[in-house]
Amino acid sequence: MLNLETDVLIIGGGMAAGWAALGAARSGADVILVDKGYVGTSGVTATGGPGHWWVPPDPQLRREAVERRMAVAYGLAEPDWMHRIIETTWDNLPGLTGYYDFQKNDEGKVHYNGLRGPEYMRALRRKALDAGVRIFDQFPALELLLHEDGSVAGAEGIQRLNSANWRVRAGGVIMATGGCAFRSGLLGSHTNTGDGYLMAAEAGAELSGMEFSSIYSISPAWVSTRTAIFTYARYFDAAGHELDLAGFAGPGDFTGEMAKALMAGPVYCLLNEVPEAVRRQFPQVQPATPLPFARKGIDLYHDKFEVGLFAEGTIRGTGGLRITGPQCQTTVPGLFAAGDAATRELIAGATTGGGSPNSAWALSSGLWSGAGAARRARRHGRRAGEPVSQAGSIALRPSGATKSVDTRAITKTVQNQMIPFETALFRTEAKSAASLSTLDAAWREASTHQREEGLAAVQAREVAAMLATARWCHAASQARPESRGLQRRIDAPELRPELARRHRIGGLDDIWTAPEPAVQQEEYA
C-alpha cells in the first residue's frame, strides 16, 4: 500500500481536473492529482477543439450573452452563475500563455476562444507540474474515505502498472471525473463511466439534473467524430430526397428529428456548403475529425456519407453532482465537484451546455473548487491521524455470498436502457419504469454478490458506476412528468410551469427524488 498525504486531492484527468489543480496550487495548497489514464490525454477535451464562452468585459455584451442562454434554459439556470463564469474565463484563460500557443486572427489579435484539445491538455499538465502539483497517472480511484463525522478524508485506489493499492489522505477532495456516456463509442469518452457519481453517492452526495441526459451527437455512422463541421450539413434519405431537419446549430429539436429519420431508415450527409475559410481552419481546430473520412477514401466536402447519432449521456447532458455553494461544494463536507462530474444546470438549465459554456464551466468550476478545497484544508487540516472508513460498496463489499457476476452482461443491460432512441430519448412513464426494473435487478445481483480485487475491481466499479448512473437518469425522468429541454416525455409533451425547478436525486439500493425550491429569475423571464 502506497500511503500519501496532501492538502487537496483531485480525482480525474481532464480539463476540469487540470484547472482545479491550478486553482488549488495557486491558493498555496499541496496538491495531488490522480487519474485512471494519463493526464493530458484523458477525457473528451483531448480529442476536440474546445471553444469557451468568451465575452468581452462590456456590461451590455455580457448581459445580452446571459439573456440568450437564459432564453433556452427552460427556467432552471441562474444568471449570477453565468456572469461569474464569463468573468472567470475571460480573466484566466490567457494565463496559459507560455504553455499554449494562442493563434492570432486576421486582425493580428490573439484568438483565445477556440483551442486545440491535445495541445490544451498538454499545456494544463505542464502548468500544473510547474505549479508543484504531484500527478499520478494510471492511478484509478475506487472509493472515498470518510471521517467519523461523515466528511471526506481522501480516497483509495489501484496503481494500474503494478496492481498495488494506494491511499491518499487529504483535507479536501475534488471530484473531476467527467460525465458518463455509457461506453456508446463517443469519441474520447471511453473512460467517462460516471465513477465520480458513484463514489460521491456512496459517501452520501446528492445529484441533480439526471433527467437531462438524453442527448446525442451527429457523426459518420461508422465512428464518432467531433461535430462542429455539421453546422453546414445537408441530409438525405436513402432515396436521395433532402430531409427538412431543424438546424444542427439553430433552434428546434435536431436530435429528436434526426432520431426519427434514422428510425425510418439510413440517413446521408453532404458537407458541400462548408465555407472555404472553415475548410482551411478545420484540420487545425479539430484534427481528429477528417481522419476517418480519409481512411475510407471519402471526400469530406463532396461525397455523401451515412451518419448516425452517438449517445453523450451526462457529458453534453447537464446532470451531475449537486452543487451547494459558490466554490462548487457538494452535499458532503470536504467534497467538491468540477466539470462534467457536477451538474451544469446552473448555467445550462434543462438544455445542453455542450461546447463553449461547458468548457467555460470546466475552467471556472475547476478554479473555484480548487480554491474551495484549499481553503477547507487550511481551516480543518489534513486530520491524517484520525480513523477513517471506506465508503465503497458495490463490487467491493457485497451484502451477500460472493459469486461470479457477468460485468459484460451488465454493461449490455445498461446500454440497452441508455442508448437506443426508444428507451433513452423518447421516454414515457411506462418505459422508464420497465428500464428501472431491469436495471434494479442488475444492481441487486452485483451489489449482493460481486467482489473484485486488483485491476478487476477497476473494471467492475466502472460498470457499477454506469449502472448507478442509468438508474438515476430513469428515476429522475419519472419524477419530471413533462417535456422540458433534453427531457422528452412523449406521454407528457407539455411544459408545466409549476415544474420549473431542479430535482435532487440520490440513493443506491433505494433511489429517492425531491424537488428543489423554484429558481427565482423574474428579471430574465
> Other C-beta atoms within 10 Å of 99: how many?
16
Output the pLDDT for position 525. Answer: 34
For the segment 282-310, the average pLDDT, to the nearest whole number, is: 90
pLDDT score of 105: 77
pLDDT in tens, 62-73: 999 999 999 999
Kindly tell me if the per-residue pLDDT of 520 is higher than 70: no
Let me know: does 392 contact 202? Beta carbons within 8 Å: yes
Q: pLDDT value at position 11?
A: 98
Q: What is the CATH number of domain 2-212+314-390?
A: 3.50.50.60
pLDDT value of position 253: 85
Q: Distance between alpha carbon 156 and the CA centroid of its chain, in Å?
A: 22
Residue type at 453? E
Q: Is residue 93 pLDDT above 90, yes or no? A: yes
Give the residue-averaged pLDDT of 495-518. Answer: 95
| Nearest C-alpha neighbor of 481 from the set 473, 465, 492, 467 | 492
User: What's the rounded Cα separation, in Å, for the pair 264 and 242?
Assistant: 14
* Contact (Cβ atoms closer than 8 angstroms) between residue 489 and residue 481: yes
Return d(Cα 375, Cα 334) in angstroms, integer. 10
Residue 103: helix, strand or coil by DSSP? strand
- Do 15 and 392 meet the contact criterion of CB atoms below 8 Å apart? no
| d(C-alpha 519, C-alpha 508), whole Å | 27
What is the reported pTM? 0.95
**Per-residue pLDDT at 281:** 80
- Tell me what the mean pLDDT of segment 146-153 comes to: 98
Please compute the mean of the pLDDT values over residues 46-51 and round it to a whole number. 87
376-390 pLDDT tens trace: 999 999 998 899 999
Identify the pLDDT of residue 523. Answer: 46
Please, which residues bridge with residue 168 across strands? 4, 155
Q: Which pLDDT value is given to residue 382? A: 94
Q: How confident is the model at residue 521 (pLDDT cuts 50, 70, 90)?
A: low
Residue 327 has pLDDT above 80, yes or no: yes
Tell me the pLDDT band of 261, cut-offs 50, 70 and 90: very high
Count of Cβ atoms closer than 10 Å to residue 380 Cβ: 14
Q: Supply 406's cell numbers.
A: 457477468
Q: Which three cell numbers stand for residue 58?
A: 462590456
| Percentage of the residues of the chain whose pLDDT score is greater than 90 | 87
Cell reading at 366: 475547476
Does 248 score more than 80 pLDDT?
no
For position 247, what pLDDT does the model report?
58
pLDDT at 251 over 70: no
Sorting pLDDT into bands at 50, 70 and 90, what band is 423?
very high
Confidence at residue 252, expressed as pLDDT on a 0 to 100 scale: 65
Q: How many C-beta atoms lie closer than 10 Å to residue 477's C-beta? A: 26
pLDDT digits 0-9 by tens, 214-245:
999 999 999 998 888 898 999 999 999 999 88
Per-residue pLDDT, 287: 77
Q: How do the domains of the chain map onto residue ranges?
A: 2-212+314-390, 216-311
Say which CATH topology domain 216-311 has: Flavocytochrome C3; Chain A, domain 1 (3.90.700)
Where b means 16+ CB within 10 Å and e means fewer, 39-51 reads bbbbbbbbbbbbb
**Cα→Cα distances 402→112, 143, 415, 449, Å:** 54, 20, 25, 4
Look up residue 471 and give its DSSP letter. H
Measured CA to CA, the distance from residue 21 to residue 33 in angstroms comes to: 7
Mean per-residue pLDDT, 100-128: 91
- How far is 53 from 355, CA to CA, in rounded Å? 8
pLDDT band at 249 (very low <50, low <70, confident <90, very high): very low
Whole-number pLDDT of residue 183: 97
Residue with cell 426494473: 437
The mean pLDDT of the chain is 94
Q: For residue 93, which of 64, 65, 123, 59 has the smallest C-alpha distance?
A: 123
Residue whose entry in the numeric block shows the C-alpha cell 492570432: 104
Residue 265 has pLDDT above 70, yes or no: yes
Closest CA to 328 of 316, 313, 346, 315: 346
**DSSP string over 352-383:** --TTHHHHHHHHHHHHHHHHHHHHHHHHH---
Residues in the chain: 525
Classify the C-alpha dihedral 120-121-126-129 as positive or negative: positive
Share of the chain above pLDDT 70, in %: 98
pLDDT in tens, 352-362: 998 899 999 99
Which single residue is written with the C-alpha cell 496503481?
159
| Number of C-beta neighbours around residue 490 at 10 A | 12
Task: For residue range 7-27, list pLDDT tens digits in order.
Answer: 999 999 999 999 999 999 999
pLDDT score for 522: 46
DSSP-derived secondary structure letter, 100: B
